[in-house]
Amino acid sequence: MAEITAFTERVRDSLREALLDAATRQLPDKGYAGLRMADVAAAAGVSRQTVYNEFGNKATLVQAVALRTAGEFLDGIQQRFADAPELLAGVRSAVRYTIEHARENRLVAAALGTEAGEDLLPLLTTKGEPILRAATELAANHYTERLPSLSAEHAALLAETVVRLSLSHLVLRTHSAAEAADMVCAAIAPAIDRYSSTME
């Protein structure tokens, strides 16, 4: 019985990934408004009802695509933090990676710079709270690991500042990724020094 359950779960996971892959491929060209559940179903080789059974509606499907894409970004950010020799270097590397990878990612690039993808932008901004929260929590945890003298409150404040500054540089493309990373670090370095030396 356990083997059958495990097999069923693997099949469902595989189906879910296939549907997310299909939606991810279509969203950059069609945007949210143009995405049709029937087209996602056809691309994945299943019925439209199967897509509805799995996700319920288009909004939930697109949110799942956004969360999976964010997960890929968070994995990359985590690796940059892990490879950095010290905190500020980790911040710089993570910010640069985030901006470079976002500009290369078809889905994110469409949300930021195409008419079709214009209605996807709220997933990164006004409706992007789950993604922003996950990025902030990941960064804050890293900050306290690297600087144990940093309080959880200050780590969260610094992390949210970095995430929001990075998003700003991503949405308003006025600097290269390297320049943006340097600017973010210049902005938060004094705060890191201050908060890490503050005795609560």
What sign does the dihedral 6-9-15-20 (CA atoms) show?
Answer: negative
- Distance separating alpha carbons of residues 137 and 156, to the nearest angstrom: 7
Cα 50 vs. chain centroid, distance in angstroms? 27
Distance, CA of 117 to CA of 26 (rounded, Å): 10
The domain that contains 70 carries what CATH number? 1.10.357.10
Question: How is 28-83 classified by DSSP, letter by letter?
Answer: HHHHHHH--HHHHHHHHTS-HHHHHHHHSSHHHHHHHHHHHHHHHHHHHHHHHHHH
Q: pTM for this structure?
A: 0.79
The answer to whether the Cα torsion of 37, 46, 27, 69 is positive or negative is: positive
Which residues span the domain enclosing 150?
A: 2-197
Q: Of 134, 114, 24, 19, which is closest to residue 73 (Cα–Cα)? A: 134
Of 96, 90, 112, 104, nearest in space to 171 by CA: 112
Per-residue pLDDT reduced to its tens digit, 4-41: 555 456 656 789 999 999 999 999 889 898 999 999 99
Structure tokens at 38: 């029937």
pLDDT reading at 199 higher than 70? no
Tens digit of pLDDT for each residue in 60-100?
999 899 888 888 889 999 999 999 999 999 999 999 999 99
Region 167-174: mean pLDDT is: 86
Extract the tokens encoding 12: 């469902």
| pLDDT value of residue 6 | 53
Total domains present in the chain: 1
> Which spans in 45-176 are helix H?
48-55, 58-83, 87-104, 106-113, 129-146, 152-171
- Backbone Cα Rg of the chain: 19
